[in-house]
């Protein structure tokens, strides 16, 4: 009796539409540092576990490591925007459980000397900019870490 040999991955895992680069761009584009976290100077990583249904939509999220001050809700909001390509798994509708870490880092404010304007009044120093940083997870656990500085 010959048995059909199963592949290395019996159930094929979903892939983010566009790949890891598109996932990074989505997080970078959508992440808004919560005002309360900026005021309190809160930094850290929010780990979110989420479930992807058979249609590729995120149907459930749960914060595993909390940061508070609105960061947890912002991380969950971003994860709910994810869309995955689901491969055919022998006609079975499978739920997939994944995790992601979203980093919240305070912006580095460059020191800008105050300039004098025409009537010898100091002008306000204006600094703006958004910096994003992507780091693949190291070790046995696979995933992505994102640092977003606003």
Residue with tokens 């780990």: 47
Domains along the chain with CATH numbers: 15-149 (3.30.2420.10)
Q: What's the whole-model pTM score?
A: 0.65
With cut-offs at 50, 70 and 90, classify the pLDDT of residue 63.
very high
- Which pLDDT belongs to residue 127? 43
What are the pLDDT digits (tens) for 21-36? 999 899 989 999 999 9
Q: Is the pLDDT of residue 135 over 60?
A: no
Q: What is the pLDDT of residues 85-95, one digit of tens each?
A: 998 888 888 99
Per-position DSSP letters for 98-146, written without gaps between them: EEEEEEEEPPP----PPPB-TTSPBPPP-----EEEEEE--SSS--EEE
Rg of the chain over Cα atoms, rounded to whole angstroms, equals 21
Residues ≥6 apart with Cβ < 8 Å to 84: 14, 15, 16, 17, 52, 56, 57, 96
């Amino acid at each position: 009796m010959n048995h059909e040999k199963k592949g290395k991955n019996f159930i094929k895992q979903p892939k983010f539409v566009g790949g890891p680069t598109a996932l990074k761009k989505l997080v970078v584009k959508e992440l808004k540092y919560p005002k309360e976290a900026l005021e309190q100077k809160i930094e850290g990583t929010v780990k979110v576990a989420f479930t992807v249904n058979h249609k590729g939509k995120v149907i459930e999220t749960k914060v595993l490591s909390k940061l508070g001050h609105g960061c947890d809700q912002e991380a969950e909001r971003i994860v709910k925007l994810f869309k995955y390509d689901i491969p055919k798994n022998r006609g079975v509708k499978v739920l997939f459980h994944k995790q992601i870490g979203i980093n919240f880092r305070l912006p580095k404010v460059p020191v800008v000397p105050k300039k004098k304007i025409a009537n010898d009044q100091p002008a306000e120093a204006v600094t703006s900019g958004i910096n994003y940083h992507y780091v693949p997870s190291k070790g046995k656990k696979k995933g992505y870490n994102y640092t977003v500085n606003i």
